[in-house]
A and B are shown apart, each in its own frame.
Chain A
Amino acid sequence: MAGEESRLRITKSDGVTRVEFLDRNILDEANIQKIGEEISNIVDEDDRPRLLISFANVDHLSSAALGTLITINNKVKNRGGQLRLSNIDPQIHEVFVITRLVNLFEIHEDAEQALASFS
């Protein structure tokens, strides 16, 4: 349930659900768990979900946030869907490089590129 306290902006067009974060820091575990549940519910809504998560405006994230993204990615794959990430700040992108998660996720420079990549 998105509800009043949602820290996400969710829009849907052309069969792709686009998720953006309202917070600059994605660090707090309780908040991360809530975000994870909310996105997970979105994934459950479609048989072959096509999901774009944009990190525009996000300055910091924690390993717990990475864990939540991995869980979402696993869930999307299990449902035969596609997940794309975009608009990642260079310093946060370095975190994806250090953890080798650039090999797990399909990351695009901006939302337009990411949207064009869905098959």
Chain B
Amino acid sequence: MAEPTHSPQHFRAELPRDTGEIQRFTGEVIEAAERMGYAKAARFAVRLAFEEAVSNAFKHGHAGLDRSLTLLVEAEVAPDRIRLVVEDRGPGFDPGAIADPTLDENLDKPSGRGLMLIRAYMTRVEFNEAGNRIEMLYRPTGEQA
């Protein structure tokens, strides 16, 4: 059992469209969060947000582009915050143009829930102007870390 550490840890990678690579990077971030003392609920939230952001970036950000294009991903795990960045090589999108998937008329539509889940689980979510870079911040509450 590793001793808890409180020094911020940084991760950065060029992530290919490869399940093993994605899970390896995500696993490193989640393990760092666990060593930092983050509880299961917090780790669930961070994993979910990161996986959704990566999935959106490949599926929508790189739609119609070369499948060999990578994403630039970063993570910072500190005792008071976890910061995640996912940047794709696509032209970007307007996050305000996504339909609300929780409306009655959209409930039985199979897509469009990734971004709303990210927003629900993260403390702060920001896009760059082009809309091809998402930065997600998770700040623990007393019960979560």
Contacts and interface: CB of A to CB of B under 8 A. Distances in A.
Interface of A: 27-31, 60, 62-64, 66-68, 70-71, 73-74, 91, 95, 98-101, 103-104
A100 B102 contact: yes
18 contacts: A27-B23, A28-B19, A30-B19, A31-B19, A60-B47, A60-B48, A62-B52, A63-B113, A63-B117, A64-B55, A67-B113, A68-B110, A70-B109, A74-B110, A91-B40, A95-B48, A100-B107, A101-B107
Report whether over half of chain A's contact residues are helix, strand or loop; otherwise say mixed.
helix
A67 B114 CA distance: 10
Given A62-B48, A67-B113, 17 more contacts: A29-B55, A60-B44, A62-B52, A62-B114, A63-B113, A63-B117, A64-B55, A66-B113, A67-B111, A70-B109, A91-B40, A91-B41, A98-B117, A98-B120, A99-B101, A99-B102, A101-B107
Report whether over half of chain B's contact residues are helix, strand or loop; otherwise say mixed.
helix
A37 to B, nearest CB: 14
